[in-house]
Amino acid sequence: MTFHHPQVTELNHSLARHHLSRLRSVGTRPYEFRQHVRVLSTLLAAEVTRELAVRPVQVQTPLEKMTCHELGGRFAAVPILRAGLGMVAPLSDLIPDLEVWHLGLYRDEETALPVHYYDKLPQENPPDVAVVLDPMLATGGSACMAIQSLKRWRVPRIQMLSIISTPEGIQRVISESPEIRIFTCAVDRGLNEKKYIVPGLGDAGDRIFNT
């Protein structure tokens, strides 16, 4: 069943459903898992970049000169280490001048709270658009922490890409930052007692990096 919220885009795409099925399977091997992550991230990237600002340019075709359009402004991907790294390549393929800034966050397994351990974001000259990358939007704690870092950097437009999300995580992000747009392939049932997404796909970072 599709999740409805004006700030959430849940992909309704046959390819997304196909690759999600393979991604969820416990029998999918790490190199196959990484490929499915890449395909799903490409589909999400096509959505999040749909309305990026463009500027007119004059182009000489083999027959005549015409006005075309190219991307305008600066666009940044902000993967949450480590699992978010698996989502960077599709954005890099689509946007040649993509900036990539890393945020290191991990979940304390006893408290299920995020721990912030790495942040090299500069203090000035923010990009026009920044997209937080995290395969799993579970409790929303890490996402909110990342978004706050980007707000301190004064990024004017912040969006999020997540392959699988939960209603709880979405609600937390939007309640703290109602201007954020979330793009996801699926919104799952929710969280279990250990704060893992169910039915989910397990630990995305472990499956991407075979650890």
For residue 157, the cross-strand partners are 129
For the residues 100-110, what does the mean pLDDT come to? 78
Query: Is 105 a domain residue?
Result: yes
**Please, which pLDDT band fits residue 208 given cuts at 50, 70 and 90?**
confident
**pLDDT at site 51:** 86
Asked whether residue 35 is domain-assigned, the answer is: yes
Would 65 be classed as within a structural domain? no
109 domain-assigned: yes
Write down the catalytic residue from 42, 107, 119, 128: 107
- HSE-up of residue 9 (Cα within 13 Å, Cβ side): 18
Cα distance between residue 4 and residue 2, in whole Å: 6
Whether the per-residue pLDDT at 109 is higher than 70: the answer is no
- What lies within 8 Å, CB to CB, of 61 at 6+ separation is none
107 is an active site residue: yes
Residue 134 lies in a domain: yes
Instruction: Determine whether 97 is an active site residue.
Output: no
Is position 63 within any domain?
no
Residue 171 resides in a domain: yes
Establish whether 134 is a catalytic residue: no
CA–CA distance, 101 with 52 (Å, rounded to integer): 19
Q: Is 188 a catalytic residue?
A: no
Domain boundaries, position 172: 8-51+73-209
> The domain that contains 164 carries what CATH number?
3.40.50.2020
pLDDT tens digits for 29-49? 999 999 999 999 999 999 999
What mean pLDDT value characterizes the chain? 91
Per-residue pLDDT, 88 = 93
Q: Give the number of domains in the chain.
A: 1
Residue 122 belongs to some domain of the structure: yes
